[in-house]
Structure 1
Amino acid sequence: MDTHIIDTSTCPVCGASNRCTLADPRTVDQACWCFTVAIDPEVLAALPEAVRGQACLCPQCAGVEAKRRDAS
């Protein structure tokens, strides 16, 4: 049995805060930042099976920050 507990407030790739509003009881009624961006399906597919769908990526690991920098 896997007893590893996923921390839903941290990115499963780098361990930084994922800024997920759904993981924070104070902001659970607000839409998460990831609801308004497109995350490359290849980025999601590269995640280990054990963490898929368990916690949000942070904007950097999701590739969102790089896209914003490129657009500026």
Structure 2
Amino acid sequence: MNTNLCPACGQPNSCAQATSDNEVTHCWCFEVEVQPQALQELPPEALNRACLCPRCAGTVHSSVSQEHDREPD
């Protein structure tokens, strides 16, 4: 499993912990509450293996979600 990708949608999860070999002291997920439903919808084998992206974690507004859904250039 690629820990840089969200296990729910497959997009980059922007997780500082996944991209660093050093101890991480700050990541976007340290400051938000992940919606419990987002975790319940994951298959058991994905739990605690890779971080959700902000959109799938239920922490962003629709304008950011629309940009997330945009096709890469």
Could you tell me the TM-score, scaled by structure 1's length?
0.75
Q: Percent identity?
A: 39
Superposed counterparts of 1:12-31, under 5 Å = 12-25=7-20, 29-31=24-26
> Are positions 1:53 and 2:48 aligned together?
yes
Higher helix share: 1
Q: Which has the larger radius of gyration?
A: 1
Moved over 2 A (4+): 25-30, 66-69
Could you tell me the TM-score, scaled by structure 2's length?
0.74
Deviation larger for 43-52 or 27-36 = 27-36
Matched residues, number: 64
| Residue ranges of structure 1 left out of the alignment (5+ in a row) | 1-5
Residue 11 to residue 28, structure 1, CA distance change in 2 (3 Å): farther
